[in-house]
Amino acid sequence: MNSKKHPIVIAIDGTSASGKSTNAKLVAKALGYVYVDTGAMYRTLAWHCVQKKVDATNDKAIAALCRKWKTTLECVEKNHLRVVHLLVDGYFPEKEIRTPETAAAVSHVAAVPGVRKWMKLKQRECIQFGDLVMEGRDIGTNVFPETDYKFYLDATLAERSARRAADGVNENLAARDQRDSQRAVAPLMIALGAKVINNSAMTSEQTSRLLLEEIHKLMPAKK
């Protein structure tokens, strides 16, 4: 009853390839919560910039495009999981946001202050769909700093690089980490009060089980 008035937000932040997406989905499915991939929202804007031929290094042009693009939020059922999509002109570019071209632009687009401000407001709107498991890089520090359910996933650089390689992706994670942690607005950092989990030697099942154990520990105090 109470969660309808005040939806629970479970914030899962962390470095690239630390297992945020996989574990956030597992936790959301286990709890029956809505899953929100904030990285996909930034990728959607990056894709839109590519489509509109906006230079990914032109902060002013990106911020201007972000202010005027026509977007809506949609909650859909997918593989027994409720997922939030950010639609552009009624369309969700599911495959397009995973292309190398989009990936190359997203970290630059995500660092634009005007974009971070717009995304924070849009991501906070997701509570209209109910209790959330939201993953990203600034959920506990910037988007929902008031939540009591904050987690930060990490793993060694070697392990994260191996995970990316296993997915067929060649990415300089050290450079990505540096960009994310040094950007001027909402940098990647451990939120105050967040539970840090280093899952270098853990499977997704072990990581999600630990997350759920910690979440259930917090829940009685919230009832």
Domain residue ranges of the chain, discontinuous segments joined by +: 2-222
- Cβ atoms 132, 9 nearer than 8 A: yes
- Percent of the chain having pLDDT more than 70? 96
Q: Of the candidates 25, 55, 60, 58, which has an alpha carbon nearest to the alpha carbon of residue 40?
A: 25
Q: What's the predicted TM-score (pTM) here?
A: 0.91
pLDDT tens digit sequence for 83-127: 999 999 999 999 999 988 898 899 889 999 999 999 999 999 999
What pLDDT score does 53 carry?
Answer: 95
What pLDDT score does 220 carry?
Answer: 62
What pLDDT score does 2 carry?
Answer: 41
Helix (H) or strand (E) holding 71: strand 71-78
Of 159-163, 164-168, 208-212, which range is least confident?
Answer: 164-168
What pLDDT score does 223 carry?
Answer: 46
pLDDT tens digit sequence for 124-133: 999 999 999 9
Question: If you average pLDDT over residues 192-198, what whole number do you get?
Answer: 96
Question: If you average pLDDT over residues 171-199, what whole number do you get?
Answer: 84
Q: What is the CATH number of domain 2-222?
A: 3.40.50.300
Two tokens, residue 64: 């201007």
What pLDDT score does 215 carry?
Answer: 97
pLDDT at 1 over 80: no
What pLDDT score does 3 carry?
Answer: 42
pLDDT tens digit sequence for 131-157: 999 999 999 999 999 999 999 999 999
Average pLDDT for the chain: 92
Q: Which residue has the higher pLDDT, 107 or 65?
A: 65
Alpha-carbon gap, residue 169 to 77, rounded angstroms: 28
Q: Would you call 202 helix, strand, or coil by DSSP?
A: coil
Residue 125 φ/ψ region, left for φ over 0, alpha for ψ in the -120 to 50 degree band, beta for the rest: alpha
Q: Would you call 81 helix, strand, or coil by DSSP?
A: strand
pLDDT at 221 over 60: no
The residue assigned the tokens 């290094």 is 57
What pLDDT score does 171 carry?
Answer: 77
